[in-house]
Amino acid sequence: MTTNTAAAPDRVPGSSRYRDRFPLELGGKLQRRTLVVLSTATILGGLGFGASASVGALLLAEVSGNDAISGLAAAMSNAGAAAAGIPLARIAARRGRRTAVVLGSSVAMLGALLAIGGAAISVWWVLALGIGILGVASAVQLLSRFAATDLALPKNRARDLSLVVWSITVGAVIGPNLMGPGAVVGGWIGVTPLAGVFVFTFFAQLAAVCVNFFGLRPDPLLTARLLQAEAEKSSDVRPETTSEVAASRSAKILAIVIIGMAQAIMVGLMAMTPLHLKHHGGSDALVGVTLSLHIAGMYALSPVFGILAGKIGRLPVIVGGWAILLVAIYFAFISGDNNGYVQIAMTLVGIGWSAVTVAGAALLTDLTTLGERPKWQGRADTFMSASGAAAGVLAGIVFAMSDFSILALVALALLTLGVIASMYPKLRVARQH
């Protein structure tokens, strides 16, 4: 484990080339430049992914002629992200973050092409497979947020991570509005109008590939290893440069559970919100506004939670997130035919999710050493995406057999598991940062 972490400086790819060009130090100009590159690429990748996510379910229903098939869109997307989490993390550990995110976005481009092809030949399972492969773009976004912490000072990790998370907002908000232009593009290339959105997805992923390929140099993870190797050779070492927290395996697992439970609560409630609103007379416009409020809650306040996690600690922010989610679940439980309560619930679900996942990701980073960090971050991303996929399927079953209030009780059970995990004493190591 320590071999990779303390690799000799001359073995770090690209280190000599960029030593004179960039100031290789934690929290310096290179870190600020890295944040700009990661945020820009995340906006582009999120733009395309947000556009396709908004029409995936509709397009599956159209191509298959079966509304029940539409539920596969979210499940396949989350499954694709889950399948890519650990492989991308392994690539990052061996070759650096840049190689991993560029490869991931390239695979997502292939998914977009496959989705267009599936729609063109009217074969729903090909379309679903394309959506699943496109889900790798979500794994790239998750990996990018961790890449933002590689060169960050420990006290700034949560803040820098949250800035990349916040950049997802742009794609999430603009993406669904590309349905109109996508219909025009679909007509140009001779496919169903909804499939035209995936053309934007393809080119957005291509742009993200270019930004990361040319901009993410030197690689943040490889540079961090270089810095650690040089610091270990020096007799004058700043404590914040080399301090790494030794944490038990159970602490790391519970940090991952915390992130996964927040994801499961969010996806489970969000997945059934459109149907719940429709069943109680809600219009398409109401559904759109509700989902927009939810998405705004997920990302708009992420920098606030990142800053708070740096100032008051990771666990207090996580606990605050659980409290917000508890209030959200309460409003979901009592909502009935009150669409206003549903909107309050989904907005709070987004805010609570943001608090828990931003602080939870920073917590996991604190609990891992530089050498093992990519491996555990990959596990966290995989578990997070898998939790979302499982919650989406479970929510559909529960909602079909009961109603939204019972689904809220299931979310409460998941929240209880998350709260219990947060009470583990050894997680308090994060307060050191």
Q: Is residue 101 within 8 Å of residue 41, measured between CB atoms?
A: yes
- Write down which residue in 178, 197, 228 finishes a domain: 228
Q: What would the mean pLDDT of 345-372 be, rounded to a whole number?
A: 93
If one compares 282 and 44, the residue with the highest pLDDT of the two is: 44
Instruction: Kindly state whether residues 396 and 302 are assigned to the same domain.
Output: yes
Instruction: Kindly state whether residues 215 and 332 are assigned to the same domain.
Output: no
Q: What pTM was computed for the model?
A: 0.79
Rounded to the nearest integer, the mean pLDDT of the chain is: 84
- Per-residue pLDDT at 53: 64
Instruction: Kindly state whether residues 256 and 377 are assigned to the same domain.
Output: yes
Residue 3 lies in a domain: no
- pLDDT tops 50 at residue 314: yes
Which CATH number covers residue 388? Answer: 1.20.1250.20
Q: Is residue 204 within 8 Å of residue 219, measured between CB atoms?
A: no
- Write down which residue in 181, 198, 228 finishes a domain: 228
pLDDT over 70 percentage in the chain: 85
- pLDDT tops 70 at residue 282: yes
| pLDDT 10s digits, 198-213 | 898 899 999 999 999 9
- pLDDT tops 80 at residue 109: yes
- Per-residue pLDDT at 6: 37
Instruction: Kindly state whether residues 250 and 128 are assigned to the same domain.
Output: no
Q: Residue 322, Cβ neighbours under 10 Å: how many?
A: 20
Instruction: Kindly state whether residues 322 and 196 are assigned to the same domain.
Output: no
- Per-residue pLDDT at 7: 38
If one compares 19 and 29, the residue with the highest pLDDT of the two is: 29
Could you tell me the residue range of the domain that residue 321 belongs to?
246-432
Instruction: Kindly state whether residues 255 and 220 are assigned to the same domain.
Output: no
- Torsion sign (Cα): 18, 20, 22, 27: positive
Instruction: Kindly state whether residues 299 and 425 are assigned to the same domain.
Output: yes
- Per-residue pLDDT at 26: 63
Residue 239 lies in a domain: no
- pLDDT tops 80 at residue 131: yes
Residue 156 CB contacts under 8 Å (≥ 6 apart), including other chains: 27, 310
- Per-residue pLDDT at 241: 43
- pLDDT tops 80 at residue 238: no
Instruction: Kindly state whether residues 68 and 205 are assigned to the same domain.
Output: yes
What's the structural domain count of the chain?
2
Instruction: Kindly state whether residues 295 and 193 are assigned to the same domain.
Output: no
- pLDDT tops 50 at residue 8: no
Q: What would the mean pLDDT of 307-313 be, rounded to a whole number?
A: 93
b vs e for 148-168, b when ≥16 Cβ sit within 10 Å of the residue's Cβ?
bbbbbbbebbbbbbbbbbbbb
Nearest to 55 by CA among 162, 130, 141, 160: 130
Instruction: Kindly state whether residues 81 and 123 are assigned to the same domain.
Output: yes
| pLDDT 10s digits, 59-94 | 887 888 876 676 677 778 888 988 999 999 999 999
- pLDDT tops 80 at residue 54: no
Give the integer Cα–Cα distance in Å for 248 and 253. Answer: 9
pLDDT over 90 percentage in the chain: 46
